[in-house]
Structure 1
């Protein structure tokens, strides 16, 4: 079962599909660091590092034969919630980068003509301000002979130790049965038919990094003295009048949610962002930065997965990825429905 991967990054989607038995034969990204990491993790795949606009997917198909699936998540900033507040920037496919990436996804689909495609993006892709982007996906899928099923899923509900919502769209040829999303396997607290969420304590308690940190780079930056006072699972709102703090330090909802955000060992992590910051969490409940090995596990990458580059590059590769465990479950569902 051969797939082509675009906007591949470090290969989170590919990792999930590989675990389900698929083989990436060609991948594309324009960030050299991510391309290097991808190549080390998938040595048998051809990796083209450059603009997707320069890729001739007909030539890829001619070289590798029938392609079963196209997978990828066009870069998400134009479709993110934060773009609602960045009024100086255009949204969705009105943004030049947003249109370039999404339109080239469907150019790849047209030229490869696979049996299915896997399209991933931020949950904001379904928000009303981005209606034009979702309509574009629907129209192009229809025009190319595919019917789609889409849903916003929470990775934590599929065994990933992270509250991470993603828009997932599966397209299949019109003569194939409709794709049916797999049932969720986990929920908060568990239930008669679901397991409890996997927590940070479940996956991180065997990692011990209690080493002294550089005083100039301590977690919390100039507010580093406040971080130890915040209970695990809380953030800067702990220091507001609304939460009963006797001498309020911050105003209610005056900062990003992740400001001084601390993990709880009894809960999944919040979304791991692509950018590393000295005062934006999540931080470890032991009042320190998370390490690469830790966010790697939070994203459900295998421990032996390779990330190249400096610390911030590795963090960005992991934060940009789709959790492989979530993708594996979806890929297994595709395999069961269409390849067995």
Structure 2
């Protein structure tokens, strides 16, 4: 198997996908204690290092990963660049971005790239780092890699792909940026989508499969006890009144429910519920009590259900309390995406013949299902009935006005 160095490993979602593609993680560096416990419980052979990457020297990585006389085949990781996330951008109107000390994780990743000189590298990050006019991270990446090439006599380059996991057979709408590079300067061609939104008309000569759905992923778990995780908080009793696949917008003047809220005055994921015939919405790492996606049975998703939606194998156990488990899984890369990219890296960079069958691609759930009925609005929310102002637009709401003031 090809040898991998894994940084910012988290719960191991990307590593599991690469494992399915024929890569072996030889060292996994992660500072979250619960993620480390998850890794050590499931894959002790990955040599988990429970430290901040800034405290782990490159010689240590070489020693633990057994790379004294050679370079790793692949360096992987998703530097946690919260300053570049869409939520950070829209909540503040802008971000400190590279001036934010949290963005230094990117340069830590590149320090390991320079010192270990892997044959290839794979980086994952949030879509925000590619926003037009907000591309300091990409510019910095280009600049540092040019310096590495000049100083080390290598020829690294990279290609950027924005992938929606649902387009590749993951039962979840999750858009992320992937950066893939080669030490020899080879171009990387990202794989073409294999699945598509059935509601969008396509004129493809060879039509794609429809998106995998939440029912495909977790429908067979419907009759299994999950130690049901109740929804709590102020809005818990309103959730049953929202149909499958809808959110709070159902209870606005433009929805089919009661006018309880103003149009677009809440986050999209507020009271958001799964639909059996659609992929899951993006799994959140730190949801509030009213932030979904919620199960169509009006409860939170179980750990096993979230793993299914992230295409993490059933025999993998995520350790920790509910909050810690949610954080680990919400931050993970869907493992199927790791498998798909891993096979392409082997084929394009290492010139290996690769089996086209995907181990982590789930089968369709062909059992019949019916939409869960929505319940009447609980009397405790009827005082909200009335005319509500819609959101005035980006930067014009109460928070935006307060910032300007």
Shorter-chain TM-score tier:
over 0.9
Matches within 5 A, 1:23-62: 23-62=24-63
* 1:84 paired residue among 85, 89, 92: 89
* Cα separation, partners in 2 of 1:213 and 1:327, compared to 1, 3 Å: closer
- Tell me what 2:348 maps to: 337
Bigger drift between 118-127 and 53-62 goes to 53-62
User: Is the aligned partner of 1:103 residue 2:112?
Assistant: no
Contact 1:83–1:91 at 8 Å: present in 2 too? no
Q: 4+ runs of 1 displaced by more than 4 Å?
A: 209-214
**CA distance, structure 1, for counterparts of residue 255 and residue 300 of structure 2:** 25
Contact 1:186–1:196 at 8 Å: present in 2 too? yes
User: Is the aligned partner of 1:310 residue 2:321?
Assistant: yes
* 1:230 paired residue among 242, 249, 253: 242
- Tell me what 2:390 maps to: none
Bigger drift between 325-334 and 57-66 goes to 57-66
Give secondary structure in 2 for the equivalent of 1:206: helix
C-alpha offsets along residues 230-253 of structure 1, whole Å, 9 cap, x if unaligned?
A: 1111100000012254x4100011
- Tell me what 1:144 maps to: 148
Give secondary structure in 1 for the equivalent of 2:44: coil
**CA distance, structure 2, for counterparts of residue 133 and residue 176 of structure 1:** 20
Give secondary structure in 1 for the equivalent of 2:341: helix
- Tell me what 1:286 maps to: 297
Shift of 1:208: 2.7
Give secondary structure in 1 for the equivalent of 2:182: strand
Contact 1:260–1:283 at 8 Å: present in 2 too? yes
Length, aligned pairs only: 335
**CA distance, structure 1, for counterparts of residue 225 and residue 60 of structure 2:** 52
**CA distance, structure 2, for counterparts of residue 275 and residue 188 of structure 1:** 27
**CA distance, structure 2, for counterparts of residue 140 and residue 260 of structure 1:** 43
**CA distance, structure 2, for counterparts of residue 19 and residue 10 of structure 1:** 16
Contact 2:84–2:95 at 8 Å: present in 1 too? no
Give secondary structure in 2 for the equivalent of 1:38: helix
- Tell me what 1:198 maps to: 212
Q: Which is strand-richer, 1 or 2?
A: 1
**CA distance, structure 1, for counterparts of residue 57 and residue 226 of structure 2:** 51
* 2:165 paired residue among 155, 162, 167: 155
Q: How big is the alpha-carbon RMSD for the aligned residues of Structure 1 and Structure 2? A: 2.0
Shift of 1:316: 1.0
Shift of 1:226: 2.1
* Cα separation, partners in 2 of 1:176 and 1:137, compared to 1, 3 Å: closer
User: Is the aligned partner of 1:267 residue 2:267?
Assistant: no
User: Is the aligned partner of 1:179 residue 2:188?
Assistant: yes
**CA distance, structure 2, for counterparts of residue 328 and residue 18 of structure 1:** 7
List runs of 5+ in structure 1 lacking aligned partners: none
